[in-house]
Amino acid sequence: MSSEKKIKYEIALRQAQYVVAQLQPYCDRIEVAGSIRRECPGVGDIEVVCIPKVDMTGLFSDIPQRNADFCQAVDSWDKINGQAAGKYMQRILPSGINLDIFTATADNWGLIFAIRTGSAIYSHNVLARRWVSLGYKSVDGELRKYNDYDNPIALPEEKDLFDLLGIHYDRPQARNF
């Protein structure tokens, strides 16, 4: 985030590890993304992608709901934007660093993790342009063929996205443009 003050990578990494430690018990999967994953020397904010656990509620335990402990942990940080039960949340950590939390599912993890690792220019110019050229569209966090919106493409790993797009898997550190 160019308009924000940059934080040293090492400081941001420690804060990201703190976030992961706080949320890990309530997630099926959680990873640091963004400029920290790309190992940029200056970091504007912390980005985390996770698959929060789901609790079954209701009279017959048949209604899936975001894990309450996950929501409580997220809501313990000052809110900027988004509900803890949503796909995107923005919070401020006690250290003053902005935190962006993006939720995924087992089927769209690869897409969300790749996009949120960035950089924004890489995600747009390399990934999105390529999927558009192949007849795909990103809809609600899922990749779908233009003529088949009812069947999202399962992309459980980041490499699955690169394979689908027919492009070489770039390490996160090579995506800094």
Q: pLDDT of 106-141, one tens digit each?
A: 999 999 999 999 999 999 999 999 999 999 999 999
**Close Cβ partners of 157 (under 8 Å, ≥ 6 residues apart):** 109, 110
Model confidence band, residue 1 (pLDDT cutoffs 50, 70, 90)? very low
Please indicate, yes or no, whether residues 81 and 123 belong to a single structural domain of this protein: no
* 42 plus 98 within the same structural domain: yes
Mark which of 48, 72, 103 sits at the end of a domain. 103
Please, what is the end-to-end C-alpha distance for the chain in angstroms? 13
Residue 139 burial (C-beta neighbours within 10 Å; 0-12, 13-18, 19+): exposed
Displacement of CA 11 from its chain's centroid (Å): 20
Distance, CA of 176 to CA of 173 (rounded, Å): 6
- Between CA 136 and CA 146 the distance in angstroms is 6
**Stretch 23-41: mean pLDDT, rounded?**
98
Query: Looking at residue 97, what DSSP letter applies?
Result: -
Residue 2 has pLDDT above 50, yes or no: no
How many domains, the chain? 2
Q: For the chain, give the mean pLDDT.
A: 93
Confidence class for position 177, pLDDT limits 50, 70, 90 = confident
> Is position 132 within any domain?
yes
Q: Residue 114 is part of which domain span?
A: 109-166
pLDDT in tens, 68-113: 999 999 999 999 999 998 999 999 999 999 999 999 999 999 999 9
